């Protein structure tokens, strides 16, 4: 069966942790492609300042340009209201049809929150979850009824987070080799994260 991956996130900004995770999952599970879906209005980040989704989308496009298996989707930017993963997976299920196995890729920290997501039951019906070990987050005690729909994978440890990138830019510290060169240039050119 053909498998395709979806990786949702705020990607503020997209960094090498996201890219390495997606690539290792793609390679390991033999996914035909991985679609990055920048979240327009992440429901769990209400009240936090988030960079305009056009900036986040463009950075994701630039960071993934060198990987023929990676795509970026605007689906959550074109949908009004809170960006729920379940709506996105439903969209791709309709687009790709029933013959595709959908792998929804998350880091272990995001996966640990999944019961709090909107309609987790339907999410598990529509897709298989990949919980990628993320430095500092151990996936323990996962006893859900959808256990068989969850795959875990250990990815090369990259202790990078978008919050750390933003903090570094704010403090005028280097972000070289933590994000792609294009993303680094884009951040500098547009003065992103310089002051909050
Ligand atoms: P922030 O620090 O602002 O929360 P983040 O680095 O966690 O940003 P998100 O856009 O919130 O990035 O994460 C999108 C997805 O990528 C989530 O599933 C998250 O668990 C995963 N992820 C983020 N960073 C890593 C990393 N270094 N290794 C593996 N997975 C990661
Ligand atoms: Mg996060």
Task: Kindly report the CATH number assigned to the domain that includes residue 140.
Answer: 3.40.50.620
CA gap 157, 56 in Å, rounded: 24
Structural domain boundaries enclosing 34: 3-159
Which of 77, 122, 79, 78 has the alpha carbon at shortest distance from 104? 122
Determine the distance separating the centroid of ligand 2 and the alpha carbon of 182, expressed in angstroms: 22
Q: Does residue 181 sit within a domain?
A: no
> pLDDT tens-digit profile of 74-124?
999 999 999 999 999 999 999 999 999 999 999 988 888 887 888 989 999
What's the total number of domains in the chain? 1
Measured at the CA of 173, the angle between CA 170 and CA 174, to 5 degrees, comes to: 125
In a domain, 177, yes or no: no
Which one of 6, 8, 15, 17 would you pick to mutate in the ligand 1 pocket, going by the greatest count of ligand atoms within 8 A of its CB?
17
In a domain, 191, yes or no: no
The pLDDT of residue 142:
60
171 within some domain: no
DSSP of 110-130: HHTTGGGSS-HHHHHHH-EEE
Q: How far is the CA of 33 from the centre of ligand 2 (A)?
A: 23
Q: How confident is the model at residue 21 (pLDDT cuts 50, 70, 90)?
A: very high
- Structural domain includes residue 139: yes
Please tell me the least confidently modeled range out of 66-80, 129-143, 149-163: 129-143
Closest CA to 118 of 11, 8, 3: 8
Measured CA distances, 148 to 107, 127, 134, 142 (Å) = 18, 11, 21, 11
Does a structural domain hold residue 186?
Answer: no
Is residue 193 domain-resident?
Answer: no
- Token pair 């919050």 in the structure block, residue: 163
Ordered strands of the 128-133 beta sheet:
70-72, 34-38, 2-9, 100-107, 128-133, 150-154
């Amino acid at each position: 069966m053909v498998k395709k991956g979806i990786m949702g996130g705020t990607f503020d900004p997209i960094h090498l942790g996201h890219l390495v995770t997606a690539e290792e999952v793609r390679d390991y599970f033999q996914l035909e492609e991985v679609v990055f879906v920048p979240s327009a209005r992440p429901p769990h980040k209400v009240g936090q300042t988030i960079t305009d989704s056009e900036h986040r989308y463009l950075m994701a496009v630039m960071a993934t340009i060198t990987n023929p298996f990676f795509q970026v989707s605007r689906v959550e930017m074109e949908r009004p209201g809170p960006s729920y993963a379940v709506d996105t997976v439903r969209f791709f299920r309709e687009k790709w049809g029933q013959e595709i196995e959908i792998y929804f890729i998350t880091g272990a920290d995001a996966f640990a929150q999944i019961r709090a997501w909107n309609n987790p039951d339907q999410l598990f019906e529509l897709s298989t979850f990949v919980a990628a070990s993320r430095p500092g987050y151990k996936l323990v005690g996962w006893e859900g009824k959808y256990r068989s729909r969850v795959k875990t994978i250990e990815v090369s440890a990259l202790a990078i987070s978008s919050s750390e990138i933003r903090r570094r830019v704010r403090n005028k510290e280097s972000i070289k080799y933590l994000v792609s060169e294009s993303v680094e240039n884009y951040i500098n050119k547009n003065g992103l994260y310089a002051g909050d």
